[in-house]
Amino acid sequence: MYNPFERYKVNMNPIAILLKMDKDGWCEKYFPEYAELFDGYPPAIKVIYYDPGHKPKDGRPMITGNTRPMELNPWEYWNGAAGEITFQGTRWAEPDDTHNGLPYQANVDEDEYLAWCHERNYFRSGNGLDPNVFIGAFDIRTSAYQARKERFKAEDLLTEPNYITCRGGVYLPARGPTRKNPWGVNSSYHPGGGAPTYISHTWGPDNRPDSEGGNHPIVWYDEARDGAKPTQAEYDMARYSVWL
């Protein structure tokens, strides 16, 4: 019997094939709690503009795109570091002579992949943010968003976020390093728009060394030039206090 995937057998695997052909089925198999919550693969959150500068004449909000918070689809985010597993069922391997000295991805077996999935699954590991907060959420860009954006321009330690309005609070996504902010900023969730009950641990002075390395720009923090280095808590607060 002809197998249409036979010629891809070196590069493809059952995990990647299922993901490509049936994302809902893939989610039901490897992240069943998320599939049950969202009736399949978690959908993106709509970006909506609704303020005097963007509102159409008929008064309806304008939907302009979508966004995917890393906590909504935690399996989609990876750095490509050696040894790291991806949600396609592969592992980044060290460069070698057979791959022209370049990093490459090698397939992982089912048991190893399931262990990786469980570590990223909030319902199995407790790591990350409860995806229930994103039910009914929208990334709403209103006049208040524009006002926050103006404040952002004067801040050196901040990067501009999407401002996701959830039924129970506000979610601010993470952002990687910029010229203004070599450390990047963490995502956070704020019930009722107040103090955060969740902050990710990816970016900032405690999580990113001020030295060369990784896949991101070098951080050179000179306290004589740049002032005293903030604590991680001060750094995170400086980011979210501008947007709430």
User: How far apart are the C-alpha atoms of 114 and 136, rounded to whole Å?
Assistant: 29
Compute the distance between CA of residue 92 and CA of residue 67 in angstroms, rounded to an integer: 26
Q: What pLDDT shows up at residue 190? A: 96
Instruction: Please state, in angstroms and rounded to a whole number, the distance separating the CA atoms of residues 83 and 92.
Output: 5
Cα first-last separation, the chain: 60
pLDDT at 238: 82
Task: Select from 135, 190, 133 the least CA-distant residue to 161.
Answer: 190
d(C-alpha 244, C-alpha 194), whole Å: 7
Coil, helix or strand for 236?
helix
* Residue 135 Cα distances to 62, 85, 138, angstroms: 20, 28, 9
197-202: list long-range contacts, CB under 8 Å, 24+ apart.
198/129, 199/236, 200/70, 200/71, 200/128, 200/129, 200/174, 202/174
What is the residue extent of each domain of the chain?
Answer: 133-244
What does DSSP assign to residue 165? E
- The pLDDT value recorded for residue 29 is 98
Q: What is the pLDDT along the chain (244 residues), one digit of tens a residue?
A: 444 444 334 457 899 999 999 999 999 999 999 999 999 999 999 887 765 555 555 556 566 778 889 999 999 987 666 788 999 998 877 666 665 555 567 889 999 999 999 999 999 999 999 999 999 898 776 666 666 667 666 565 566 666 888 999 999 988 877 767 777 889 999 999 899 999 998 888 888 756 455 555 556 677 887 788 889 999 899 888 877 7
Q: Which residues contact 202 (CB under 8 A, 6 or more apart)?
A: 174, 184, 186, 187
The answer to whether 152 touches 158, Cβ cutoff 8 Å, is yes
